[in-house]
Amino acid sequence: MLFFCPSCGNILIIEEDTSSHRFTCHTCPFISKIKRKITTKTFPRLKEVDHVLGGIAAWENVDSTDAECPACSHKRAYFMQIQTRSADEPMTTFYKCCNHQCGNTWRD
């Protein structure tokens, strides 16, 4: 496959001809018809998305408090505080319902 002109060494440009496509050089009169079409699709591997709060392991050793779950009305919830904004603003409190069948998370 040609990418550079064999006469002058400049990069070849793909142009549309009347019946097909061709490689042409803008510096010299070199022209070469493209004889076969090669296409490949390569999709990048997506990286795994990290859980913002640290995933399941972040909730392993947290305390619980009296807080009503907005989803199931359970009266206890695990909580942790994280500094999500600048240091002069208060910390954000995240809650997770103690009802293992619910597991709802919310913030205050």
- The pLDDT tens digits for 50-64 are 666 677 777 788 888
Q: Is 25 annotated as a binding residue?
A: yes
Flag whether 98 is marked binding.
Answer: no
Q: Is 69 annotated as a binding residue?
A: yes
Q: Is 97 annotated as a binding residue?
A: yes
User: pLDDT confidence of 40, banded at 50, 70, 90?
Assistant: confident
pLDDT of residue 37: 74
Is residue 28 within 8 A of residue 5, CB to CB? The reply is yes
> With 0-12 CB in 10 A as exposed, 13-18 as middle and 19+ as buried, what is 69?
buried
CA–CA distance, 54 with 60 (Å, rounded to integer): 11
Ligand-binding annotation for 8, yes or no, is yes
Q: How far is it, in rounded angstroms, from Cα 4 to Cα 12?
A: 5
Domains of the chain in start order, with CATH, are: 1-35 (2.20.25.10), 56-107 (2.20.25.10)
